[in-house]
Amino acid sequence: MLSLQNINLELEVEERRVPILNDVNLEFEAGKMYALTGPNGSGKSSVARVAMGIYRQTAGQVVYNGEDVSDLGISERARKGIGYAFQHPPRFKGMPVKDMLEMAFKYSDGYNCQVLRDIGLCPDDYLERTLDNSLSGGEIKRIEIATLLAQNPKVRIFDEPEAGIDLWSFEQLIDVIGSSHREDTTTVVISHQEKILNMVDEIILIRDGTVSMRGSREEIWPQIKESAECACRNSCRLEGEIYADCPR
């Protein structure tokens, strides 16, 4: 479905070329769910952004359904079926949620109300709200996920979908990502949440800008447990058991 071949990426940071990704090779198959995990700053979002065409790789190819899409722009890749839910979605002054969802539906079919309901927001309360600072971080993030569900692309990349979302909707979020996954779609979730790692077919560990390991949850989890777990975890334990409903 989607493959990244020998991807190198350098980005300009304060007038300096900084290496971000180094010889990344990944193959994502149809019908499978993947988690991209790894420490902060390891290059997970950069992998997604290269796939979407937001970042142009310095070397290597992006191949989608057998076609080299390396030279295609963001819009063209989106229309071919690659979609990306941002880690930090931008806000838009004056733009109603309804308009954003309608733009997402332009190349798919469906209707606004259902996708909002799926991510736990009452459509009646939210369709006319504007995507500005009047919405909380969690609301913006949930609408971002609804937008990707509306777009319904063949390759769906969710970048830390759980960030800023409260516990109740975290469970619902996992459900909706899982239940909307189809035989002909590829789902990639960037995350280090244990519950998300539990639901996927394969976990890819990115470290220092390269793929350091691929495998099952059992193989990968011990490698990342330390950085994924909360530093305050012990304060949520009571006689060895976690008593707060921790999503981690």
Among 78, 140, 176, 188, binds another protein (CB under 8 A): 78
- Can residue 84 be called a binding residue for another protein (CB under 8 A)? yes
- Can residue 164 be called a binding residue for another protein (CB under 8 A)? no
Q: Where are the beta strands (DSSP E) in 115-184?
A: 155-159
Question: What are the distances in angstroms from CA 60 to CA 21, 50, 65, 86?
Answer: 11, 11, 16, 24
Among 8, 30, 63, 99, binds another protein (CB under 8 A): 99
- Can residue 12 be called a binding residue for another protein (CB under 8 A)? no
Chain residues 170-229 in contact with another protein, contact rule CB under 8 A: none
Least distance to another protein from the beta carbon of 214, Å?
26
User: Parallel, antiparallel, or unpaired: how do β-strands 202-207 and 210-215 relate?
Assistant: antiparallel
Give the closest residue to 22 by CA, choosing from 206, 180, 238.
Answer: 206
- Can residue 103 be called a binding residue for another protein (CB under 8 A)? yes
- Can residue 236 be called a binding residue for another protein (CB under 8 A)? no
Backbone angles phi, psi at 187, to 5 degrees: -115, 125
Query: For another protein, which is the closer residue by CB, 30 or 54?
Result: 54
Among 39, 107, 113, 223, binds another protein (CB under 8 A): 107
- Can residue 74 be called a binding residue for another protein (CB under 8 A)? yes
- Residues 196, 145: contact at Cβ < 8 Å? no
Q: What is the largest CA-CA distance in the chain?
A: 56
Give the closest residue to 87 by CA, choosing from 12, 160, 19, 25.
Answer: 160
Binding stretches for another protein (CB under 8 A): 52, 54, 73-75, 78-79, 83-84, 86, 88-90, 92-96, 99, 103-104, 106-107, 130, 147, 151
